[in-house]
Chain A
Amino acid sequence: MKRRNAVRSLVIFSLGAGVIYSCKDRYEAIKLLNLKHLEIARNELDILDDLSRMIVPFQEIIELKDHTALPFVLNMVDKLNDATDRQLFIKGYRTFDTETASLKGKAYSAMNKVEKDLLLTELNENELDASPALYQVFNTVKLRSIQYLTTSEYYQRKINYYEMTPSRFYGDVSLMDLNNMNDERD
């Protein structure tokens, strides 16, 4: 069925605004989440936000330049993680600066970009002799920041070409054809 037919036979739906978070109000957005399990000081929020931007810097995509994943990351930890993982995450962000200072001679907050890149690369390659709590923070922030990007409206529409109505299914498509079809969809 062509799109116009689908739309014609459909009752009007709310398109909704989507759950997105803006950099400008990122700490306000966190307050509004009413997190039950996480209490985070301002300097800890700064570390976590910086980590997310360093690991998944999707703000370089022009359409996402005003986004931050931090409220999403924290909300997912608060509502989805079990108590053990959550406690490890809390311990990790509370000790992030002191542990990195102990390991590298400089707290994460005090590092320049090159130093942070080196530290995060070691964590990513599991080569840093750090505590489970530090790794919990790194892995969680990476996982959830990626998820924020890949489930965003931008990514779903522009990379996955998500269509709700009508959607489509082709079961045997060559990658080359997919690229051509997506070019046409742009």
Chain B
Amino acid sequence: MMRETRYEAIVIGAGMSGSWVAKELCDKGVKTLMLDRGPDVKHLKDYPTAGKYPWEYELRGAMSTSHTEANPIASRCYAYKDGATHFFAPDDAQPYIQMQPFDWIKGYQVGGKSLMWARQTQRWSQYDFSTPDTNEFGISWPIAYQDLAPWYSHVEEFIGISGEQDGLDVLPDGVFQPPKEITVVDKHLRHIVKENYKDRHVIYARCAHLTDPKEIHREQGRGQCQNRTICERGCPFGGYFSANSSTIPWALRTGNLTLRANSVVHSIVYDEATGKAEGVKVIDANSKEEKVYYADVVFLNAGSINSTAILLNSQSDRYPNGLGNDNGLLGKYCGFHNYRARISATCPGFEDKVVDGRSPTNVYMPRYVNLDKDKDGFKGAYGVAIYTARYRKQEIEAIGEDLVKDLMKDKNFHSWSIISMMMGETIPKETNSIALDPKAVDQYGIPLVQINIGYDENDEKMMEHFYHEWEKIYKLAGFTNVERIDTNQAPGLDIHEMGGARMGKDPKTSILNANNQLHAVDNVYVSDGACMTSTSYQNPSLTYMALAARAANHYMKSRV
């Protein structure tokens, strides 16, 4: 293996959190190498379907059975649509072993899943960081909300968040751009909840869309969200945040970033003499050639499962079970979000009202359970994503000329409908784990990942609580045809896999310290989902970005 150019820092993974590390380091003059296993995706140039109209799709957006049969896992993702499939890794791109059913949704390209994420950006609160303590599970977070708050603001200002100042301690406010409109039924529900509950709030769901671009966004070359709602194809306006439209080109413009796509990371190379990581072993995705890149510091941001797997595969005489894995807990205490429970209804009383156009966001109810202790019959928190809509009728009873006349009418709408989805915290358990298969390897000779993650009784109890509470809310709102839904979906489809290398105060019970460094090897930082001590219930990307920016700046401080 040849000794390649040396960099000061290597960032593994060019997605949501990795691109934030690269931006922060490059802004401060650090010569940085960023590696990604997938091909490059250039903003504007590599969004081939971004301008395609719905009627230009042969199957009008549906996926053929042959395609879904070849990709049963990716096909289950809500954003896996004709026009966006090229941003999802095909199921055979990286096989894995499901010890229990687990849908691992992957985006293997520069930018990662930041291209097709849901763009929901709610902060964690003091309650969320303290839930393991107050609800008595897992271990304590080594940081509190106050430690992350300035980094939330730092990220929010740069990426642009549309939101309202709600003044809630369960969901702290941030740096927001104006909200978009909400629907008439959203307003009704908000009113009903306000009238009947002191501790519950229907708010505009904060999202990473520019509604009033500032100078910092124009400097990035980004413009206002156009309400296209085809975000998962890539946005040529940069209307929503993606690494491709924002942090990566920003870092490249500093002249300090070297981006190497198609670079599959095999492991982090450990130097027994110094007790530090000295580089990263990479396999070229096309030529299969092996190379080692050297650096003073390594940031691991490959996504929760892959970051954990890379650490497990980074074996040496000192760390035979994976880098920094003295306590044997690497790969354990994984979590995800329970998205199984939904409740739907029709909403009478708004027959003379419709929506016009499309919105990229919705409304939301932050947590109202288990704030100070687990008094609600289960442990952990849940929030609720709420979707209201009124669709045009496609199922017309008539036939012939009457059918065509019905279809052409402006008033041909279904009733208003609502579906609310529980976003549930799961309790990290030692048995919910990731490991390397002792025998099977992938096309690069890297051990396959075994994923052993499942639901438990606590998840079921939380769902029952949600159903019960929301049946009451729907009744107060006058909604009818209320129906409980259990999607029975496997973990993973929430695309919020977390943990495996959790942060903690004690090296005996955690892998990372309060600054996202390996306890045992302090020039390795892990600041993606793998670091999460608990999961809370919010979409986690904003928290990953804030943790990543904080970790990069911790390195800069320690370097001085």
Question: Which residues in A have some Cβ–Cβ distance to B below 8 Å?
Answer: 1, 6, 9-11, 13-20, 54-58, 60-61, 75-76, 79-82, 117, 120-121, 124, 142, 146-147, 149-153, 155-156, 159-176, 178-179, 181-182
Q: Is B443 an interface residue (CB 8 A)?
A: no
- Mark B43-56 against chain A: 1 for CB-CB distance below 8 A, else 0: 01000001111111
Q: What does DSSP make chain B's interface, helix, strand, loop or mixed?
A: loop
* In-complex Cβ contact of B54 among A58, A117, A162, A172 (8 A): A162
B490 lies within 8 A of chain A by Cβ: no
Shortest distance in angstroms between A80's beta carbon and chain B's nearest beta carbon?
Answer: 6
A174 contact from B58, B187, B353, B401, Cβ within 8 A: B353
Docked CA distance A173–B413 (Å): 13
Q: Give bound CA distance, A58 to B401, whole Å.
A: 8
> Whole-angstrom distance from the CB of B453 to the nearest CB of chain A?
30
Cβ-defined contact, B228 with A11, below 8 A? no
* Residue from B52, B66, B227 within 8 A of A16 (CB atoms): B52
CB pair B408–A170 under 8 Å, yes or no, is: no
B358/A54 in contact, CB under 8 A:
no
Q: How far is the CA of A76 from the CA of B63 in the complex (A)?
A: 10
B contact residues around A164 at 8 Å (CB): 51, 53, 226, 228, 230
Interface assignment of B403: CB less than 8 Å from any CB of chain A:
yes
Cβ of B183: which chain A residues have Cβ within 8 Å of it? 171-172
A175 near B399 (CB under 8 angstroms)?
no
- Decide if B354 touches A57 in the complex (CB within 8 Å): no
Given A167-B227, A171-B181, A175-B354, A80 contacting B237 (CB threshold 8 A): no
Contact A153–B355 (Cβ < 8 Å): no
- A165 and B228: CB pair below 8 A? yes
On whether the beta carbons of A152 and B55 are closer than 8 Å, the reply is yes
The residue on B at minimum CB distance from A153 is B55
Q: Which residues of B are found within 8 Å of A9, using beta-carbon distances?
A: 223, 237
A15 CB contacts on chain B under 8 angstroms: 51, 53
Tell me the complex Cα distance, A169–B397, Å: 29
Q: Within 8 Å CB of B397, what residues of A?
A: 124
A20 and B58 alpha carbons, distance in the complex (Å):
9
Asked if A60 contacts B404 (CB within 8 A), the reply is: yes
Cα(A121)–Cα(B398), bound, Å = 9
Q: How far is the CA of A171 from the CA of B356 in the complex (A)?
A: 7
Listed A/B pairs (6) with beta-carbon separation below 8 Å: A11-B44, A18-B55, A82-B65, A120-B399, A124-B398, A175-B354
Q: A13 and B50: CB pair below 8 A?
A: yes
Q: Are B404 and A58 in contact (CB under 8 A)?
A: yes
Interface residues of B (CB under 8 A from A): 44, 50-60, 62, 64-66, 180-184, 186-187, 223-224, 226-230, 236-237, 352-359, 392, 394-401, 403-404, 407-408, 410-411
CB distance from B362 to the nearest CB of A (A): 10
In the complex the two chains form, what is the Cα distance from A166 to B228 in whole Å? 7
Would B181 and A146 count as touching, CB distance under 8 A? no
CA A170 to CA B353, docked complex, whole Å = 11
Determine whether the beta carbon of B356 is less than 8 Å from that of A173. yes
Q: For residue A173, which residues in chain B have a CB less than 8 angstroms away from its CB?
A: 353-356
Q: How far is the CB of B21 from chain A (nearest CB, A)?
A: 29
Per the bound structure, the CA–CA distance linking A117 and B398 in Å amounts to: 12
- Whether A142 touches B399, Cβ cut-off 8 Å, given contacts A6-B226, A79-B66, A172-B181, is yes
Shortest C-beta distance, B496 to chain A (Å), equals 26
B226, A1: Cβ atoms under 8 Å? Answer: yes
Is A151 a contact partner of B404 (Cβ separation < 8 A)?
no
A166-B401 CB under 8 A given contacts A79-B66, A172-B187, A175-B354? no
Instruction: Determine how close the nearest CB of chain B comes to the CB of A164; give it in whole angstroms.
Output: 6
Given A18-B56, A124-B399, check contact A171 B407 (CB 8 Å). Answer: no
Asked whether, in the complex, the Cβ of A151 is within 8 Å of the Cβ of B357, the reply is no
CA distance A1 to B227 in the complex (A): 11
Return A9 CB to nearest CB of chain B, in Å: 5
Known A57-B404, A146-B396, A173-B356; contact A167-B60, beta-carbon cutoff 8 A: no
Provided the pairs A19-B56, A150-B407 are in contact, do residues A80 and B65 lie with their beta carbons within 8 angstroms? yes
**Distance A146 CA – B392 CA, assembled complex (angstroms):** 12
Instruction: Let me know if A75 and B54 touch, CB within 8 A.
Output: no
Query: Contact between B227 and A168 (Cβ–Cβ < 8 Å)?
Result: yes
Q: Is the CB of A146 within 8 A of B353?
A: no
Cross-interface CB contact of B353 among A153, A159, A163, A175, cutoff 8 Å? A175
Contact A11 B181 (CB under 8 A): no
Closest chain B residue, CB of each to CB of A142? B399
Chain B contacts for A152, CB-based, 8 A: 55
Contact indicator B53/A167 (Cβ below 8 Å): no
The interface residues of chain B lying within 8 Å CB-to-CB of A13 are: 50-51, 236
Check if B354 sits within 8 Å of A178, measured CB to CB: yes
CB atoms of B404 and A174 under 8 A apart: no
Chain A residue nearest to B351 (CB atoms) is A175
Closest 7 CB pairs of A and B: A13-B51, A168-B357, A171-B183, A172-B184, A167-B227, A171-B181, A169-B357
Contact yes or no, B352 A175, CB < 8 A:
yes
Q: Of A17, A163, A172, A178, which is in contact with the most chain B CB atoms at under 10 Å from its CB? A: A172
Contacts of B411 in A (CB 8 A): 175
Contact A169 B227 (CB under 8 A): yes
A58: B residues at CB distance < 8 A: 404
**A57 engages B401 (CB within 8 Å):** yes
Cα of A146 to Cα of B406 in the assembled complex, Å: 11
Note all chain A residues with C-beta closer than 8 A to B226: 1, 6, 164-167
Contacts of B399 in A (CB 8 A): 54-56, 120-121, 124, 142
Q: Tell me the complex Cα distance, A151–B264, Å.
A: 42
CB nearest neighbor in B for A151? B60
